[in-house]
Structure 1
């Protein structure tokens, strides 16, 4: 019997999910699996790093789903601290390098999975590599930041960026007793929301004691005589800092793929078909934060770096590599986050997204509570809904509020996936009891208002 070899580049969510699923379907006598990971850890939750830094998660190892040893026990040859430096598509092989010895090795493959993830946005600013400036992409990054927070005498922290990473790290630093300033290049924090909803986040962050500066274009990281960070400069101001955290988002890590001639999209991510096979390459698959996926609402490709998608990609890839069958149809863009007790959620399109693809739409904004008004401590929330003019098709939902707000977005995510209209949504049979919802759930209240807006627009 001929034994095929599967090579996996990347030892985190997508890569190791693919390897594990393929191993479930084929044993070592049918499929040899070799995986390369350039870091110190495999199968870890990068999404959990802010909560580990902030103290909600007590220890680093709680974020590790499966260790290298556990993967090896399942007959997966996982080679840690080994970086793949080249993909030879024509030759069916990859070149890897041991960073400690500098030695290089070629490894042939019959099937290849590219799961190289994403890299943090790190602009070439003066002082960006100074001591005291931290990213938060890996567990090593998280440990370095925690060590710095303990050792730093000053208590002034500046976070550059106000997206998911930025607001989550602002909370973590606040929990550690730091005075926190967030420098945001955009009009409002959380650019994944419309500006009117982002304004609610800004107001809440101010109320928590986090200073948020919008329209702040960072020009340099100032350092002292010892080369340590002392301030962050913008075009018209300077913000003192004892520690700086970069939270400017991520980009697909596809340098290897680009050099190998694999197809990339407008966001720089790999392009695949529904089976997660790289377009035009019968024996190469890709998944996780290095790919672009189909937005089911807009019909366009987009880059959505989330661990949920990465694990699903891996399952689909592993099924196909292992002789089974699976597809990944696309996403609707659902994401949730929090900063202290403020919950933030979105799914589907923002106003500018809808306009960019030529959709005409109406909006509805309502305020409601997470529980019946007479039940103790109801959480207040604002729900914004977008619907297509004439058809009434749901296009997007954004929610900002207190306890019980964020996960309500899942109802909208299901409705988007099903292609429902806002009128159809008003008849949804959602659960009700005073501790969990008013008689009319906030999502349904927003849908009723959106129905009225659709009718008025006609």
Structure 2
């Protein structure tokens, strides 16, 4: 009686996409049919990077709270997980990868039948003097979070500078404020939150200043200043210097595709890997990729974008694991939905900004409304501002941005569904949304904006 050897699935990366893919493939095929080996260069697996600011700020008490599944739990499911092991080369022609044990320094080649690339993203670190000085921190993984907390606990001074005012920047500003630091945010853009239009970003700017966070716009960092001990002492721009005992980089991330590029795999305009609907790398029959290292289809614009979010990463892993395990699944694309908060201010967006719509050659109308989170007479009602963008001739919804207090952020989900369905603002006005005074006015703020957008489309004509 002859037995066939199991296929080998190699996974590069032990976080959301990689281990979701490995786990899903294991559900579909047992170890006799599929051998799974996963490589992770760090100390943690399957964790919530999105929760790091709340761990740093103290809302989450322990790193263990951010870990969904430990290495031991993965191994108990017949996944050969090799920690502190970094993949240093991919050889698609010979179906193998080279890895290095970071504890011993040993290099080995491992053959594969199927490969998953889930290398994630890396923080942007501009080449400015002093960027690598002690006390300067990027925040991308749990090791980064641990290092920052250690610095915050041992630093005597209480002055912090955050470089960048995107999602990472504003969330870290809140975390440092909770830690008792005097926080300055340096933003080279016109307003914080470049994922919003400037008029909506101005609302965030005003609110952050009201919370005691100094937010400086148009501030291009030219140098990280250091003291006699070599540690960070401040941040310099062309116009001013800002003293700092700790600096956090919140400039953003870029796809970590160094290995893929050296292996000759195709990259898109943002530097992310290009895949088909099954998350298979284009031109490769047996290689899949997902998470923060790939580009995804924007369903509104039809263009490829790099969007680093845990929601997408986990979905990619499920799709990849299904296909690598012999099943079938696809990932159609995204509409660009994201929410964040700084203290009690909630910030949300989905779809296109004005400049995105212009770049695609679309003619559009925009409206802005102020409404409340609850019926005006019900205690606790708070103001929110909703901005809506619709195509001029058709009335097709193009994008929504929301800034407000409690109850504002998750309202963007209604708009995300409408965008995915390709709805017009006229169709949106008829949505049967839930109503009771503790939850909403009779006309939900999103529907108020839709009604106003309908009027703007009609007024604009063809």
TM range (shorter): over 0.9
Look up the match of 2:171: 168
Aligned-partner SS, 2:398: strand
C-alpha displacement at 1:101, in angstroms? 1.9
Pairs within 5 Å for 1:133-212? 133-212=136-215
* TM-score normalised by structure 1 residue count: 1.00
1:302 aligns with 2:305: yes
> Are 1:331 and 2:334 counterparts?
yes
Among candidates 263, 268, 280, match of residue 283 of structure 2: 280
Deviation at 1:138, TM superposition (A): 1.1
Distance in 1, Cα, partners of 2:314 & 2:377: 41
Match of 1:382 in 2: 385
Residue 320 of structure 2: aligned partner: 317
Following the alignment from structure 2 to structure 1, what is the Cα–Cα distance between the partners of residues 403 and 320? 35
- Tell me whether 1:444 sits opposite 2:447 in the alignment: yes
Q: In structure 1, what is the Cα distance between the partners aligned to 2:151 and 2:275?
A: 41
- Give the C-alpha shift of residue 2 in structure 1: 3.0
Give the counterpart of 1:256 among 255, 259, 271: 259
Superposed CA deviations along residues 80-108 of structure 1, whole A, max 9, x for unmatched, are 00000000000000000112222100000
Aligned counterpart, 1:373: 376
Aligned match for 2:21, one of 14, 18, 23 = 18
Select 2:426's aligned residue among 423, 427, 432. 423
Aligned to 1:226: 229
Residue 100 of structure 2 corresponds to residue 97 of structure 1: yes
Partner secondary structure for residue 409 of structure 1? helix
Partner residue, 2:61:
58
CA distance, structure 1, for counterparts of residue 381 and residue 58 of structure 2: 27
- What residue in structure 2 maps to residue 68 of structure 1? 71
Q: Name which of structure 1's ranges 146-155 and 184-193 shifts more when overlaid on structure 2.
A: 146-155
Distance 2:300 2:100 in 1: 42
Deviations 1:371-423 (A, max 9, x none): 00000010210000000011000000000000000000000000000000000
Query: How far is 1:436 from its partner?
Result: 0.1
Whole-angstrom distance in 2 between the partners of 1:138 and 1:414: 30
Distance 1:283 1:332 in 2: 28
Runs (5+) with no aligned partner, structure 2: none
1:411 matched to 2:419? The reply is: no
1:221 alignment partner, SS class:
strand
CA RMSD of aligned residues (A): 0.5
Secondary structure (helix, strand or coil) at the match of 2:168 reads helix
**TM-score with structure 2 setting the length:** 0.99
Shift of 1:175: 0.3
- Give the total of aligned pairs: 458
SS at match of 1:32: strand
Shift of 1:143: 1.1
1:241 Cα deviation from its structure 2 partner: 0.2
What secondary structure sits across from 1:90 in the alignment?
Answer: helix
CA distance in 1, matches of 2:74, 2:108: 22
- Unpaired stretches in structure 1, ≥5 consecutive residues: none
Provide Cα deviations, 1:99-135, integer angstroms capped at 9, x if missing partner: 2222100000000000000000011111111111111
1:269 maps to what in 2? 272
